[in-house]
Structure 1
Amino acid sequence: MRLFLILLSFVCYNAAYAAQYQAHQLDGNSLLLQTDAGQLSLTFYQNDVVEAFYQPEGVKQLPSFSISQQPAAVALQLNEAADSLTLASDGLTVKINKAPLQLSYYRGDKLLLAEEQGYFQHQQQNMQHGFRFALSKDEQLLGGGQRVLGMDRRGHKFPLYNKAHYGYSTQSSQMYFSLPAIMSSNKYLLLFDNSAKGEADLGATDTDVMQFSAEGGRSSYVLVAGDSYPQLINNYTALTGRQPLPARWTLGNYASRFGYRTEAEARAVVQKFRQLKLPLDALVLDLYWFGPDIKGHMGNLAWDHNAFPQPEKMLADLSADGINTILVTEPFVLTSSKRWQEAVAAEAIAPGLDGKPKTFDFYFGNTGLVDVFSAQGQSWFWQIYKGLAEQGVAGVWGDLGEPEVHPDDTVHAIGMANEVHNAFGHQWADMVYSNMRRDFPAQRPFIMMRAGAPGSQRFGMVPWTGDVERSWGGLKPQVELALSMGLFGFGYIHSDLGGFAGGEQFDKELYIRWLQYGVFQPVYRPHAQEHIAPEMVFHDSDTIETLRPWLNMRYQLLPYNYTLAYQNSQSGMPLMRPLFFADEQNPALIEEKNSYFWGDAFLVAPITEPGATSWPVQLPGGVWFDYFNGQRYAGTNRVDIPISINTIPVLVKAGSFVPMAELVQSTRDYSSKKLTLHYYADASVECAKGEMYEDDGKTPEAIAKGEFELLNFYYLNDNGTQKFELRRSGNYSGMPDSRELTLVVHNQSATPSHISVDGRYVQLVPQQARFNRMQNVAWYDKATKQLKVKIDWQAEKQQILIR
């Protein structure tokens, strides 16, 4: 049966697909169109989301890996004219030209997108099919996955084929994680719903035409509309799935390298962090956990007891110390590994055309590839993961999952290698996530993988930007890569902090700058080849003390960062956000790839050149304050911000609430019992609001179960009286009955004459020392222009008045 399906995929066509309408039928959310070449279905999943699925006769169709949403109830109106049909929801209108068949999409009276030729198919070396669309004159296109091409990818042509790019820096057209999807400045998002090897041509060959093509796969695309870019993301992630809320520990610090060779070394690095009082939450073990050297052992996927004699005890001891252990795994099983015969007997290895397990050579040895698309492959692979989880392994690292080597004649359960290549990592993540939720229902899965497909985020996939060169050139594109992926649901994309590949000598300044940037990226994981230590504990005391306040800041920001994670799980909003979100009418901001928003409150500009004493920052409008010295900036101009080795440009938006917690050495000890709430006041902001999400940090589906608390903050300037209202709602196990809250009002230009909490007078003390040891008091610091008010927050609603 498998080979029969494969042979169907080689049916080829010479002519372009110029179908003619014959008949139609409206069935619920779908309009079914019969043509002289096959069927076309138009299915509305939401008012603003429609799929066009062409099904030409004789063309094999693979399932959609991207779409997870079931069509919602959408009221559709259908009108017919002699030469066309018009199908409309409340948000979108599709005009269907009958002869030749051609689709155009409108939002109100505005044309969003039109098929140029629409679906096409023709014969080259392999059957190619895809779609062509007309581009408008000034349209900008973002997306395509991991590329280093600039934010606007219009004018580029690139492969749709996940492929490793070892040691990349300032340019790359093909990398680990491609996405057959774009977001347009015309406020639509287009997904080419196809897992096969292909190509995207975004106006490179023909300036006014966008084309997606692939070697087989699925002949469908999805158009998503919205009134804003965040709404596009919301609608798209409702369709493809949203990232589940991760465990709180995943936002902490990771010790990671290539790699720790023994149990003693792994224990020692954790102890080093503890001795130096540098926070740590995770330990990542690379491939030496199952073998003494790089080659010959991949596929063992069992502890090398010579190097790790007591793995269960090690895992238990680390867990007791607040350390979560993550192990690397790969989908390759070497013929020299201890499990090769076991995997063959279980029919877990993808076969070749002869039906026998397919073997081939690559860097690590002679190997086969686990068929994650087959029931046998999944069953065999999962039993290994299950055993490790039972031992106490907290997270999965899936490496080389493009797959890094994937011969064309590899046969998978549902298709040939090139048909399913881009969905391999996606299917792998699905297997791990689904089985984790079934067999370990009390645990939030952690799944870090290098490659996937649209929708992989719904399996909790945490991607990274691959084997970046350890150089200033490697640091430069990291914001671009993160922003480009975050627009399509991958909110936890991050880089190997410090750079991974190469680098003959330690570049102290580069290392510091990369780790400073890392405080404001989703995952804080320094990782590199071991000849230069990626962990800060192994560097000189000056490097450590320069970075200590930054790592501490990462932990103090846990309430803010965890709230970003909550928001991402609810709307798909990325943690790192592009500046054009602030002014959607400014096309120049779309090109900005050197700075970004960290949530709503922060604007961050990493330093990517050595020796800088100031750094240019593009202001997106509004009022902003320097996080370090309180300097006020306003407008839409580009400003040079003075910096030292201890600072990078970090600005905070006027009107922002930033909750921060007490410093801990592990999130195991995290508590919001003592909370500092920063508010950045400015005369330009008359009212503002913020929120903070809290739960126990580990219960799966805490939001769906209602096991969480929301803290809401409001500000109003009422004729010179500053009114702060604090509200709390919800409940979860371990929730504090009350909180010692310190409200810090920044940019407070004068000593207040009166402060009250719920009508009760609050004493303004003259010295910080008295403020620190007293309760329900206030203190004003003239030097920093900060007012601090300390209260006991018990009630569901409390009000602070300052005048």
Structure 2
Amino acid sequence: MAVSLAAAVPAVPLQTARAVSIPSVREGNARFQILSPTLIRLEYAGDGVFEDRPTFNAALRQAVPTRFRTWTDSGDRVIRTDRLTVRYKRGSGAFTTANLRVKLAGGAVARPAWSTADQVCSFSTRCEAEDGRPAGGAEVESDHKGFTGTGFTTGFDRRGASASFRLADVPADGDYRFAVRYANARGGDLKNEIRTLGVRVGGTRAAQLTLPRTGGWDNWRVAETTVRLKKGGAAISLERGAEDSGHVNIDNLTVVPAGTAYPAPSQLGGYRRGLDYKSGPAELEPGILSREGWALLDDSRTALFDPAANRIIQRHGHAGKPYQDGYLFGYGRDYRQALADLTALTGPAPLLPRSHFGVWFSRYHPYSAEDYQQRLLPRFRAEKVPLDTLSVDTDFKSPSTWNGWNWNSKLFPAPEKFTRWAHDQGLELNFNVHPSIPLNDPRLTEADALAKGKLEYSFCTAGINLCKIFNWGDPDQVKAYVALHRPFELQGVDSWWLDWCCDDARVTTPGMTPDSWINHLYAAHGDSLGDRGHVLSRMGSALVGGLAGQGDSPVYPSGPWAEHRSTVHFTGDSESTWPLLAFAAEMTAAEAAIGMPYVSHDIGSFRKQHLDDDYYVRWIQLGTFQPIFRVHSFNGDRLPWEYGRQAQRTATKFFQLREALLPYTYTLAWQARETGLPMARPLYLSYPGQAEAFENPTQYTYGDALLVAPVTRPNTGGTAATEVWFPPGSWTDYFTGRTYQGPSTHTIVSGLETMPLFVRAGGIVAQRTNYVDNASQNPLNEVTLVVGAGADGTFTLYEDAGDGRQYQRGEYTTTQVTYNSGTLAISGRKGAYPGAASARAYTVSLRGSARPRTVTADGQTLSATAWNYDLATRTLTIRLPAGPASAQHTITPVS
């Protein structure tokens, strides 16, 4: 790496970025750009100055050819694609919910809003109370548990407090059910166990809500009343009138026909900066996926982005005239299309190094080079536990173990010797940093000089020690910050873990979140070195008056929308509880809603030193089917040999399975880059027509072939029972061979040695057949294809050199595998890259299969020794001898 990091981070253009002519429709000071049949850019410029430059979010803004029509009708500008229709009232000014509506192909109506003052509540939908217009002392908070959305409305202990909406789409005059989800507990007004609020419609008090005590501020119930409404809609509000007792919190509300059930939450998935100090479920900020089938990504204030210079630029001020810039996603139930649109707008995720999809080991413990070389890695090898990435926590630094920028010579007396040893062992090295520099650091003079004396004083290390911090909006300070990494990279550090951003470091450019920008700079820097640029980091918002992940809300507009381009989402220092384990499974799949494929939990959890055997094993089982398998803790036991015999045996088996799955997992990462689909996929991505797909958030598919239902409760009598919903089709237990027909729900009882894991009929999973210590032990010359019998299916195995950027120049291979009418066809490998296997032996493991009479391969009947059938697990195993990797094969069991 003979590259000077003292220079500013070089620019690296976004992959596939190119000049594209985007169809536009102009209506006065409003402009509509048709990016796809389901994605419309909505831009209003009061001064008539529109913006064509990329923003940090909309860095790619790639359009696909889209047929559309536009015309005027009854004073409206109408634009129609085959998936949605936009109507905007001509000459009506900036977009509001009154002058703009979008009708989706399925009939739903979207009324995008740019501010809470313009919030619409559509008939028969669940509306978040925090989105209303508060007045009279009402305000939005998030300091209790169990609410939906991003918060709730409180302050109704004050007379005159209110929260208002504009109700829309009432189908006819009549009486309707008005209902709210609320909490009422002791506090303030102690004498009233039952409290009340008024309901005002169109300026007239129409009803009173009775709100009995719920038992606590974290306990929520539904209260309702009847209101008379006119067709179309009206202003509607909750108020603390003179006759009301108030003092309640309102989570959400709805207006529906009498006798209709309370609507389910519309938000699907979302993101959270981290799980620091969390011990169970946590609220998620919304992404673009919703039951309502649409979302608005408001990009009005996000900084502009110049990819050629790799810099951010403040937006045009528009002379104080109104300006709005948003993207209307109108996908209905086609959630996969929504993610494809998001990728085309914001750019793809990087393809991480192949080693990142194996096994990571990390521990917050002052390991020395001798510890790693003489004790830790030899034990991995002796126990046959694979290891790909060694993630070194903060103690390697000096003079401060928190934010020093020198090696601790007591732990690492010969750094280059250590990194050379690690690379010789096939290990990737990932090192922890904190983004500040102490005043006693020997490198401070160098950093200050590169920053031209602009570094500022602050308190770091939890506010104890004086340090200097960076403004990443200033190119000189970026140069200084990047240069601090130079010696470590030249000595062999491969990638970075930005822990606990941002030590008061900031970005002064308006419209940019500090951690979003620094995560981008890490990725751009890695790209400039010829690596696959990325960083392990928290993401999504800035710290707001407290610790990351403790209900903090983003105050910068950039949000999480661009961070899949740069970030492996490190979810932080979680507590060790069963509810947290369950929520980790849910959260990974939930971040599909922001296009984030790479979520990295502390597998095993962070805080507790020694775990119960079943809790430890269930974490390892979950991690096996997560995008990143990274065991980490605070001086904790997270390795198999630190547990009892059965737990050790089972954990070792799953560590080995994780490594064996690497060909499949790496292919899922390639799919994520190409399509925007996450690796861990919420069920509704594939089964949007099934209500249960929305009701089982801890289940997900790993790719499309495997259904994962993690065990999230302790064993009782040596086993754990898990309720598993099976989507339509046939699903075969990976371990037992039992097949289940969906849609249906079954109780799956798992001993410690297994978990609920199922292969879809027609699903194909590529695994490495032989044991290896790590991913560097290539080529991949022995492949097992696990195939679910009972339906047709296809899978394309993707391979490349595993690192570097040559794959972007076409240096990769694909192998098409097709299962059709009981015959498995392997296309033979297409393409080339340095180091690819020249020969390959295949093993086919056909799950849920009947016993055949014989088996043919490539037109020849196989000998009895080339295949066998296990009746107990209903598995047919077929072995083909090694041959050219480019050779085609056809395998048919004959009954």
State if a TM-score over 0.5 links the two structures: yes
Q: Which residue of 1 aligns with 2:70?
A: 78
Correspondence 1:492-531 to 2 at 5 A: 492-501=598-607, 503=608, 505-530=610-635
Correspondence 1:176-187 to 2 at 5 A: 181-187=287-293
Q: Which residue of 2 aligns with 1:317?
A: 421
Pick from 827, 844, 854 the counterpart of residue 743 of structure 1.
844
Pick from 634, 642, 664 the counterpart of residue 772 of structure 2.
664
Structure 1 contact 147–481 (Cα < 8 Å) conserved: no
Correspondence 1:229-240 to 2 at 5 A: 229-240=335-346
Shift of 1:633: 1.0
Q: Distance in 1 between matches of 2:143 and 2:453?
A: 31
Q: Does the alignment pair 1:695 with 2:790?
A: no
Structure 2 contact 618–712 (Cα < 8 Å) conserved: yes
**Secondary structure in structure 2 of the residue aligned to 1:104:** strand
Correspondence 1:168-317 to 2 at 5 A: 168-173=278-283, 181-193=287-299, 219-226=324-331, 228-267=334-373, 268-291=375-398, 296-317=400-421
Structure 1 contact 64–194 (Cα < 8 Å) conserved: no
**Secondary structure in structure 2 of the residue aligned to 1:621:** strand
Structure 1 contact 582–621 (Cα < 8 Å) conserved: no
Shift of 1:219: 4.6
Q: Which residue of 2 aligns with 1:211?
A: none
Q: Distance in 2 between matches of 1:491 and 1:396?
A: 18
Shift of 1:462: 0.5
Pick from 25, 43, 51 the counterpart of residue 41 of structure 2.
51
Shift of 1:348: 7.6
Pick from 352, 355, 362 the counterpart of residue 462 of structure 2.
362
Change (3 A) 1:369 1:95: farther
Structure 1 contact 447–460 (Cα < 8 Å) conserved: yes
**Secondary structure in structure 2 of the residue aligned to 1:713:** strand
Q: Which residue of 1 aligns with 2:667?
A: 563
Pick from 76, 79, 90 the counterpart of residue 87 of structure 1.
79
**Secondary structure in structure 2 of the residue aligned to 1:245:** coil
Correspondence 1:558-707 to 2 at 5 A: 558-612=662-716, 613=719, 614-661=721-768, 662-682=770-790, 685=791, 687-702=792-807, 704-707=808-811
Deviations 1:35-59 (A, max 9, x none): xxxx544333334322223445799
Q: Which AA in structure 1 matches 2:481?
A: F
Q: Distance in 2 between matches of 1:362 and 1:60?
A: 44
Change (3 A) 1:251 1:348: farther
More deviation, 283-292/73-82:
73-82
Deviations 1:666-708 (A, max 9, x none): 11113321111122212xx2x3222211222223251x32222
**Secondary structure in structure 2 of the residue aligned to 1:186:** coil
Q: Distance in 2 between matches of 1:707 and 1:148?
A: 52
Structure 2 contact 539–560 (Cα < 8 Å) conserved: no
Pick from 532, 535, 539 the counterpart of residue 444 of structure 1.
532
**Secondary structure in structure 1 of the residue aligned to 2:278:** coil
Which structure 1 segments of 5+ residues have no match?
A: 1-26, 121-128, 198-215, 766-770, 772-776
**Secondary structure in structure 1 of the residue aligned to 2:398:** coil
Q: Which residue of 2 aligns with 1:797?
A: 888
Deviations 1:155-213 (A, max 9, x none): 8679x998666310224337xxx5x633112333432336789xxxxxxxxxxxxxxxx
Shift of 1:357: 5.0
Q: Which residue of 2 aligns with 1:383?
A: 483
Change (3 A) 1:523 1:71: closer
Q: Which AA in structure 2 matches 1:655?
A: G
Shift of 1:726: 1.3
Change (3 A) 1:561 1:498: same
**Secondary structure in structure 2 of the residue aligned to 1:487:** helix
Q: Which residue of 1 aligns with 2:471?
A: 371
**Secondary structure in structure 1 of the residue aligned to 2:78:** strand
Q: Distance in 1 between matches of 2:425 and 2:580?
A: 34
Q: Which residue of 2 aligns with 1:334?
A: 438
Deviations 1:304-357 (A, max 9, x none): 223211111100100100111111112223344444444444338977xxxx65
Q: Distance in 1 between matches of 2:61 and 2:526?
A: 23
More deviation, 341-350/93-102:
341-350
**Secondary structure in structure 1 of the residue aligned to 2:824:** strand
Q: Which residue of 2 aligns with 1:124?
A: none
Q: Does the alignment pair 1:67 with 2:58?
A: yes
Structure 1 contact 181–190 (Cα < 8 Å) conserved: no
Q: Which AA in structure 1 matches 2:838?
A: D
Q: Which AA in structure 2 matches 1:435?
A: H
Q: Distance in 1 between matches of 2:378 and 2:322?
A: 50
Q: Distance in 2 between matches of 1:491 and 1:274?
A: 30
**Secondary structure in structure 2 of the residue aligned to 1:317:** helix
Q: Distance in 1 between matches of 2:708 and 2:271?
A: 32
User: What TM-score, normalized to structure 1?
Assistant: 0.79
Q: Which AA in structure 2 matches 1:169?
A: S
Change (3 A) 1:788 1:591: closer
Change (3 A) 1:557 1:261: closer
Change (3 A) 1:386 1:675: same
Change (3 A) 1:723 1:297: closer
Q: Distance in 2 between matches of 1:385 and 1:310?
A: 17
Q: Distance in 1 between matches of 2:633 and 2:503?
A: 19
Q: Does the alignment pair 1:547 with 2:645?
A: no
Deviations 1:120-163 (A, max 9, x none): 5xxxxxxxx8863544524699xx9x9998897498679x9986
**Secondary structure in structure 2 of the residue aligned to 1:466:** coil
Shift of 1:549: 0.7
Identity among equivalent pairs (%): 23
Structure 1 contact 451–463 (Cα < 8 Å) conserved: yes
Q: Which residue of 2 aligns with 1:464?
A: 570
Structure 1 contact 181–192 (Cα < 8 Å) conserved: no
Q: Distance in 2 between matches of 1:546 and 1:240?
A: 41
Q: Distance in 1 between matches of 2:105 and 2:33?
A: 19
Q: Which AA in structure 1 matches 2:537?
A: M
Pick from 89, 94, 101 the counterpart of residue 97 of structure 1.
89
Shift of 1:603: 1.1
Change (3 A) 1:277 1:162: closer
More deviation, 540-549/359-368:
359-368
Shift of 1:558: 1.3
Q: Distance in 1 between matches of 2:109 and 2:147?
A: 20
Q: Which residue of 1 aligns with 2:581?
A: 475
Shift of 1:797: 2.9
Q: Which residue of 2 aligns with 1:106?
A: 103
Q: CA RMSD in A?
A: 3.5
Change (3 A) 1:497 1:110: same
**Secondary structure in structure 1 of the residue aligned to 2:838:** coil
Change (3 A) 1:374 1:161: farther
